[in-house]
Amino acid sequence: MPHAKRYGWFLLHSVVAGLAAAFVISQVFPAAVRWMHATTATASDAHERVISYADAVRSAAPAVVSIYADKLITEQTLIRVPSNSTVQRFSGLAYGPPRTRLERALGSGVIVTEDGYVLTNHHVIAGASQIRIALWDGRVTQANLIGSDADTDLAVLKMEGSALPALTLDPEVPKEVGDVVLAIGNPFGLSQTVTQGIVSGLSRNQLNLRAYEDFIQTDAAINEGNSGGALINARGQLIGINTFVLGRINGAEGIGFAIPMGTASAVFEEIKQHGIVVRGWMGAEYGDAPLLPGSLDTGAARGVALTAIYSGGPAHAAGLKAGDVLLKFNGETISDQGELRLREAGLSPGQSVNISGLRAGVPFDVTLDLAQRPISTTN
């Protein structure tokens, strides 16, 4: 009996000591308690949580359409001529009557207004005689071309409809390198195909593919037919219009590009209002200037070097010459040719700009009035 009594006292003492210790820990180290609770909850819930982007796809995919652009291609034919003809002695062939054949381009598009405006790539619909759009629910309708812009590879179509599913053109949607993204489109005719990747880079330019380049780089698979489709984030928000991929022929894999919303929304509004994109133009060609001695150490501006001046253009009237190095545009430092091209295009014809630069090492300042950039017809 004394044995049992001593054991009882020992047990009671242990329980009291344990409770006291727990109280002290909870008061002195509350973060540790919260961590233990969180760890327990995480361990118990981990097997129940499955990462899925189904909600994002459900909200965005209905606004992504398939585009079929019919193009009539006229080509010269060759015919075999009789053996006794003069031509036969040389090749046996001569030009025959031209023939016309139908070529169908495959692409994607994004409905950006509920009344049927669609944004796609210029190269998808360039030269098309007829454009058809297939919606996510299987309906097929004709579309009219409102206008296109080869310089950014964007085009605006209009189809009949109301209360259509649409994605918002919002340049303020945040995006960072490392964000998960989904590409939705019509690769090889497989409509509503979704591929996943991340944002691999931002503000990519100097790829020499378009006049104006400010691309989002992604490793989400972009294939033939994806052009003009949507690049969305994990919340289903539109962040880019898929445009091209560096192919295996270049030794590249997983390097695709999309046009960001800042460019897409601006071009859309210009085409919707004017049918074309109206841009400012200096009347000069330029490229990145060679690095100056010590510029990497001092952080000095690299600037751009003028390579050609158009006779009668604003740069010519202002006295600029090939070989001049431009360092500032309207008081802001010029980092590279891509940056200057975007700034130049962002202003309206007739606006005056101040330019600072160097000619044979001697500083100069000029003012010129921008003209309207000629419309590019490059496919």
Which residues does the annotation mark as catalytic? Answer: 123, 153, 227
How many residues appear in the chain?
379
Give the separation between CA 260 and CA 206, rounded to whole angstroms: 16
Neighbours of 44 (CB within 10 A): 9
- Phi/psi of residue 295, nearest 5 degrees: -65, -30
Residues 6+ apart with CB under 8 A from 316: 283, 309, 310
Query: Could you say which DSSP state residue 62 is in?
Result: G
Backbone angles phi, psi at 72, to 5 degrees: -90, 115
Buried (b) or exposed (e) across 222-256, using 16+ Cβ within 10 A? bbebbbbbbbbbeebbbbbbbbbbbeeeeeeeebb
**Contacting residues for 90 by C-beta, under 8 A, at least 6 apart:** none
Please give the DSSP secondary-structure letter assigned to residue 203. E
